[in-house]
Chain A
Amino acid sequence: MNTLTKPTISYPPGGLLIWIVIYLELFTFGAALLALVYQAHEAPDLFHESRLLLHPIYGTVNTIFLLCSGYFMAKTISRIKDKQFIKARLNLVFTIIGGVLFLGLKSLEYFEKIQEGLTLGYNTFFSFYWMLTLFHVIHVVVGLVILLWLLATLKKAPERLEIIDAEASAAFWHMCDLIWLLLFPLLYLIF
């Protein structure tokens, strides 16, 4: 009997454990974002003036980098399932490039903000900005390390790669997308 053809509650893509991690991360970020919105409600002028000090173009381009990276990640998994490992590797390289571009642009933005004196203790808005985005960047870096491991496995011994490991790696990477999709509007656009 093939038990994997029918979805069960214990088998989301990538397995149960990675989804517990994903939901814990989402709830953590969600609570922090709601705290941000609450603080903005308390001091709307401060948050509006501070938000205008960020460049939405950076946030927009970084969103597109992560979305494209997520698209190539989905294609990578599709190719692995089809056992087209060379195409999977190519798509995974594009995925990693998207993540590296995200980090590059984020670094440029951080550099500019530090040069302008808009650091962690500047005001409440920038405390949230630095804490939330740095926490997200840590996830992106960890995600890239996981993707590099996946790339090395695809290169050296693709036949030994378990699909659940590849799916779990992809799920972690997509989680970085999900978190950013909530951070971007709340930090760069709304207030």
Chain B
Amino acid sequence: MTSRNSLYILIALIVLTLIAALAFNGASALSAYLILLIATIKFNLVGFYFMELKHAHTFWKLLLGSFSIVILMVSVVLL
């Protein structure tokens, strides 16, 4: 990954963090779902770009992606 791309990813991660913390800070169900969705996106951005999993075998990509989606789905069901 180029230095510029990794900087863009960092900026995206920080913006998503601020959006989750500032815009959706509340106890409504919709806010909770959006916060979880943002967390899932951030989780995969770190995994695929900073950990360079995007260059790895599909097996590892699927394992990480499906883990985050399972956590998201089960949390949404339980909330």
> SS class of chain A's interface: helix, strand, loop or mixed?
helix
> SS class of chain B's interface: helix, strand, loop or mixed?
helix
Interface flag for A33 (CB, 8 Å): yes
Q: How many A-B residue pairs have CB under 8 A?
A: 120
Closest to B22 in A: A60
Does B17 lie within 8 Å of A60, measured CB to CB?
A: yes
Does B10 lie within 8 Å of A12, measured CB to CB?
A: no
A-B contact pairs, 22 of them (CB 8 A): A9-B59, A11-B56, A12-B53, A19-B60, A26-B67, A27-B67, A30-B67, A30-B71, A34-B75, A67-B10, A74-B52, A78-B3, A171-B51, A174-B47, A174-B51, A181-B46, A185-B20, A186-B75, A189-B20, A190-B32, A190-B79, A191-B32
Query: Which 10 pairs between the two chains have the least Cβ-Cβ distance?
Result: A60-B21, A71-B10, A12-B56, A74-B50, A37-B78, A12-B60, A185-B39, A190-B32, A13-B52, A9-B57
